[in-house]
């Protein structure tokens, strides 16, 4: 098997808020937008999609049991930027030799940013 592209799909009850969070707060580029589905670019071959559970065959898990881990160039600078936007990220921690912080999207999915 050769994987050419990766996409994680989040099924959301708070779909509109979650789309706004990824698009406006995290400023992820939109690859595709439908009435109930938005796909964002994370990196060259990785994407994150947000689907409205009311139109999908899968319900929201409410963020249970999921962490989206994203390596960024400077976790501390990103944390400062998000704080200025009114987001309340957790404190910077040292984890496995990296600097990291956590926050949750409006659906309750945990995001880990590290560098």
The domain limits of the chain are 1-54, 67-115
Contact in structure between 68 and 48 (CB atoms under 8 Å): yes
Contact in structure between 47 and 4 (CB atoms under 8 Å): no
Give me the mean pLDDT over the 95-113 stretch: 96
Strands (E), 1-115: 6-12, 30-33, 37-43, 46-52, 67-71, 93-95, 98-104, 110-114
pLDDT tens across 39-80, in order? 999 999 999 999 999 999 999 998 888 999 999 999 999 999
> How do strand 67-71 and strand 110-114 relate by DSSP bridges?
parallel
Report the CATH fold assignment for 67-115. 2,3-Dihydroxybiphenyl 1,2-Dioxygenase; domain 1 (3.10.180)
**How many other CB atoms are found less than 10 A from the CB of residue 88?**
8
In this structure, CATH architecture of domain 1-54: 2-Layer Sandwich (3.30)
Helix (H, G, I), strand (E, B) or coil at 26: coil
d(CA 91, CA 78): 12
Summary mean pLDDT of the chain: 96
pTM assigned to the model: 0.93
């Amino acid at each position: 098997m050769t994987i050419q592209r990766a996409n994680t799909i989040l099924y959301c009850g708070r779909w509109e808020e979650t789309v706004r969070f990824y698009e406006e707060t995290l400023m992820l580029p939109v690859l595709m937008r439908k009435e109930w589905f938005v796909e964002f670019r994370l990196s060259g071959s990785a994407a994150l999609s947000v689907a409205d559970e009311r139109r999908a065959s899968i319900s929201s898990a409410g963020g249970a049991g999921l962490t989206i881990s994203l390596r960024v160039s400077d976790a501390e600078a990103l944390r400062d930027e998000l704080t200025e936007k009114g987001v309340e990220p957790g404190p910077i921690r040292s984890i496995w030799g990296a600097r990291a912080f956590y926050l949750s999207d409006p659906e309750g999915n945990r995001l880990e940013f590290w560098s």
